[in-house]
Every structure is written in C-alpha cells, then in structure tokens.
Amino acid sequence: MKTLNAILLAVSAMVVGTIGLSAQTKATAYIPFEFQVATATMPAGNYTLESTSAARQLLTITNKDTGQAVMVLVGEANPPKITGPLSGRIKFNRCEDRYFFSEIWTPRGLHARTTPSKLERELTANNNGTMMAAVFVPLTGTE
C-alpha cells in the first residue's frame, strides 16, 4: 500500500509540474469596452488572460477590477504578420454595438482564437454575413 501511495504521489507531482510549466503564458490588457466571451458579458476594465491547460486549449480571462472570470476553449491562431516590435494584442469582432473576443497574440507564443458565439453568428447573419469591424487592443504586459 505504501508503494501505491508513493507512485500516486509521484504521478500527481509530475502532472502538477507539467501543468505549471505550460501555464506560464499570461498577458494583461486594459479593455475599454464591454465585450462578450462565449455566453458571458464582461465589463470594461483591466484583464489578465492566461493559458490554463497543458495543451493550451483553455484560456482564462479575468477582470482584475471585479474578479469576474470566464474560461473559454480556444484553438491555435496564426500570428499577424507585422514588422517592428510587437508586444502583443487582442482582437475583437465588432457587430453592431457589441464587441466579441476573437483572438490573442503574445510575444511569448500564445496565439489563440475562439469560435464565434451563437449571438455573434446571428448578428453577423443579420448584417449580410459580415462583421462590421475588427478592433485591436494592445497588451500592457506579458509574463
């Protein structure tokens, strides 16, 4: 029994260590408008965005002012082709008067995108299948 407990403890430590190593991609930004992430509405404010899974398929977006947080499944996104220094940025799709979180790029390699929510797809369909604008917010820091 002691051997089994030792093995379980060692495996648990390896899993926690692996998650800790992969979850070091964190960014901060001031988002000056209310926005949608999946089904959650997030207020304007200071945010941290952090990859929280070993495979970087889960992104946690936390409002530092209110503590409100949302987790969203993300896929890999191609980083923008920009010349010069790039500190990173967040892309929002604007449809009518609403903003929808779309993608994030960081200098440390986090390139993630979400799939459009049901509301975003409906608003886009009402606008002849096109979003109204892409809005970019620069990151204020990365870790």
| pLDDT given for residue 140 in this prediction | 87
| CA–CA separation, 25 and 5 (whole Å) | 32
Which phi and psi (to 5°) does residue 141 adopt? -175, 160
* Cβ contact 91:104 at 8 Å: yes
The pLDDT of residue 131 is 64
Structure confidence at residue 129 (pLDDT): 61
| Total-model pTM | 0.74
Per-residue pLDDT of the chain (143 residues; tens, 9 = 90+): 444 333 333 434 333 333 333 434 789 999 999 999 988 999 999 999 998 776 668 899 999 999 999 999 998 766 665 555 566 899 999 988 899 999 998 877 778 889 899 999 888 888 776 667 889 999 988 76
Domain edges within the chain:
25-142
